[in-house]
Amino acid sequence: MKTIDEFTMPYGVVDKIDAFGYLEELKKNPDAPRKHGKILLVTSDTPLKASRGEGKTTATIALIDALRERGIDAAAVLRQPSMGITAAGSKGGASGGGKSSLEHPELADWGLCGEMAAIENAQNLLASFAEKAVDDGLIDTVLVPRVSEVPSRMLRATVVDRGKANVPERTVLTPASELMQIVVLSRSMEEISERVGNMIAGTKDGKAVLFREFVDLWRITNILTDAVKPVKTQTQQGSPVYLHCGPFGNVSLGIPSLVSVEMACSLHDVVVVEAGYGADAGAQKWLDIACREYGAQWPSFAVIVTRATTWRDDPALQWRYPFHVKHLENLDIPTFPLINLWDGEDGEIPELREEAKELGFRTPIIGNLFRDGGEGIADQLDPLIDAIENHPMPSAVHSHKGMSLVENLRWTAEKAYGVPRERVIFKDGFTDSLLSAARLCKSAGFDITELALLAVKSPATMTDDDTAPADERTVTLKKVEPHTGAGVVQVNLTTSLTTPMPKIV
């Protein structure tokens, strides 16, 4: 008979790393030996729909397996998949696939070590304290949303204390919560505590009331003790992978925690950072939020993943993939196309290579990553390895702090979505929403132009209608919501539905 030991395992079959502690130790020992890894940003084409991935995680895993096969010390930093959306049927997991999978993918897909759940509990505790503040007369309107990892359309608008105070509230997805943004962007527990204190709980007579005014912040940070620690696991081929926070680039940041990337950069020569959904979401946020406003390292190179069908099947959308490649190249980031083949598509390779050449791309990396893993692409990596060895470390980039929000939006629409400033349209009510957000910030002691712009949009579109001719595409600005704790201001864009709380299927 098997003994109890055979049924016993260290929890999670993964390690947890006190990244805050380690980064503090690095800071205290500036002369200690360490690596200064370069960042390879993996992002993707804009997907045809939210539920259809291009294979960013699969490609990230294949890439580090292949780079390590080529003798390079590469590691990956992934975002934690959202279990709730997977369970509800809105999206698959995000732990790779086939030969390009994580070890124990089911663990990554189904809640990891409770990190997302802890963040959910902490944000919901803040909502509970806001409700108590209503009871106590400290606020008259609750602004902080409750959160849920599992979606339901009916949670978008709710009422609590039914039959008595009837307080209106709303619920957003846990990965899209301000607290998740805070955990992704903060570099110490003290910074988290400071930022949570700066979150707006609600208003009293129209003026913002911050959580620091009435909540003991240790209650929140204690819940987060373990959630702030990145997970370390590995691919099925044994390559090192760090997982931590941050999915959903459409409605939130879509990037892993800054500390997990910084820690990885001190331990490995190349750190592959996954940012999604497409380049217009996750990559835009890594560049313009993480790097410009939060001191993250600018990518030294990028890989943009697409599927042959995503890139080419819809003539009206064929402009998007080359747009993304050129956009990153224009930022002086050597950008490698990666085409993730499905079964039966091997025959298309010559045509894909030809088309890439015509478009002036670097030589694309092409493979069936599910079937062949990193092995299938290892011999195509010479140009990437050349860039790794020879491209200089990037320098720091300019912040947009102080730029007006509308100006920042116009800049982003032009650079990231290819829509010039004159075709950025204000929806009815946008100006009011902007003014009222600016007033709310001011009443809390914040200047809205000091907050980083965070675009909230459909993951599957960059403009109001991506199928329109280039000179007719527009971007409509809809609504503004400041997150003074996280230091971002969310702006809903385009006429497409966003999914802060999708239907379940």
Residues 304-343 that bind its own copies (CB under 8 A): none
Restricted to residues 160-189, the positions that interact with its own copies (CB under 8 A) are 160-165, 167-168
Residue from 47, 53, 84, 256 binding its own copies (CB under 8 A): 84
Q: Which is nearer to its own copies, 160 or 331 (CB)?
A: 160
Distance in Å, CB of 366 to its own copies, minimum: 34
Task: Say which residue the tokens 């505790």 belong to.
Answer: 125
Asked if residues 334 and 322 have their Cβ atoms less than 8 Å apart, the reply is no
Q: Which is nearer to its own copies, 107 or 302 (CB)?
A: 107
Encoded amino acid at 147, one letter? V
Retrieve residue 282's tokens.
């996750």
Binding of its own copies by 18 (CB under 8 A)? yes
Which of the ranges 95-103, 217-225, 306-314, 378-386 carries the binding residues for its own copies, by CB under 8 A? 217-225
What value, to the nearest 5°, has the Cα angle with vertex 208 and ends 204 and 212?
105
Encoded amino acid at 394, one letter? P
Binding of its own copies by 2 (CB under 8 A)? yes
Please tell me whether residue 437 adopts helix, strand or coil conformation.
helix
Query: Using CA atoms, how far apart are residues 453 and 86, in angstroms rounded to an integer?
Result: 28
Please tell me whether residue 221 adopts helix, strand or coil conformation.
helix
Distance in Å, CB of 397 to its own copies, minimum: 28
Binding of its own copies by 14 (CB under 8 A)? yes
Distance in Å, CB of 83 to its own copies, minimum: 7
> From start to end of 63-142, where are the E strands?
74-78, 96-97, 100-101, 141-142
Which of the ranges 147-155, 402-410, 433-441, 461-469 carries the binding residues for its own copies, by CB under 8 A? 147-155
Which of the ranges 25-33, 193-201, 302-310, 345-353 carries the binding residues for its own copies, by CB under 8 A? 25-33
Which of the ranges 224-232, 300-308, 325-333, 467-475 carries the binding residues for its own copies, by CB under 8 A? 224-232
**CA of 303: how far to CAs of 96, 114, 321, 366, 486, in Å?**
16, 30, 12, 12, 28
Residue from 54, 120, 178, 262 binding its own copies (CB under 8 A): 120
Binding of its own copies by 220 (CB under 8 A)? yes
At residue 327, φ and ψ (nearest 5 deg) are -60, -50
Binding of its own copies by 107 (CB under 8 A)? yes
Which of the ranges 105-113, 342-350, 396-404, 407-415 carries the binding residues for its own copies, by CB under 8 A? 105-113
Query: Using CA atoms, how far apart are residues 78 and 232, in angstroms rounded to an integer?
Result: 10
Residue from 157, 396, 435, 468 binding its own copies (CB under 8 A): 157
Binding of its own copies by 110 (CB under 8 A)? yes
| Dihedral angle sign, alpha carbons of residues 419, 420, 421, 423 | negative
Binding of its own copies by 121 (CB under 8 A)? yes
Total Cβ atoms within 10 A of residue 470? 10
Query: Using CA atoms, how far apart are residues 302 and 396, in angstroms rounded to an integer?
Result: 17
